Amino acid sequence: MIQRQQTLWLLLAAIASFFTYKFPFYTGTLKDGLYSELDGGSTLFLLLLTGLSLLLAVITIFLFKDRKTQLKLAIAGSVLSVLILILYISGISNFANGSVAFSAIFVFAVIAGYILAARGIWKDEKLVKSLDKLR
């Protein structure tokens, strides 16, 4: 399971997804004057989608025997992560001023982890198909 590179990419996606709960994407003052941080637990929708992304990465790691399902889940995870990024960007409009935090890199790491995992799963599937042709 750990021998395959896509497992490491999915593990990166799961860890980075967890860190989006702890570290902010955007910090600043809201339009009503209060200081706030935008992170994975800021809104209920972000909380649920980030949790789903974390759960999806962990489940996908353990589906290493079924590459087709694993590939579909990795693609779904990358689409979900892009949706989460869109929600973060739209959440910035609630702030009067502020800045993107350095820890916003975790949101992009989740997307990269899913995409690189899907690429690795696709390569494995191509390798298995080519070996089946030789038999």
Strand partners, 95: 30
Q: What pLDDT band is residue 20 in, cutting at 50, 70 and 90?
A: very high
Give 94-108 pLDDT, tens digit per residue. Answer: 899 999 999 999 999
Listed by start position, the domains of the chain span 5-130
For residue range 25-60, what is the model confidence (pLDDT) as tens digits?
Answer: 999 999 888 999 999 888 899 999 999 999 999 999
Taking residues 70-79, what's their average pLDDT? 95
Q: What pTM was estimated for this model as a whole?
A: 0.89
CB atoms within 10 A of CB 48: 10
Task: Give the bridge partners for 38, in sequence order.
Answer: 26
Read off the pLDDT of each residue in 120-129 and give the average, rounded to a whole number.
86
Q: Which residues contact 95 (CB under 8 A, 6 or more apart)?
A: 26, 28, 29, 30, 31, 36, 38
Under CATH, what is the fold of the domain 5-130? Butyryl-CoA Dehydrogenase, subunit A; domain 3 (1.20.140)
Distance CA 122, CA 67 (A): 8
Region 67-90: mean pLDDT is: 94
Distance CA 6, CA 64 (A): 9
User: 134: pLDDT confidence band, cut at 50, 70 and 90?
Assistant: low
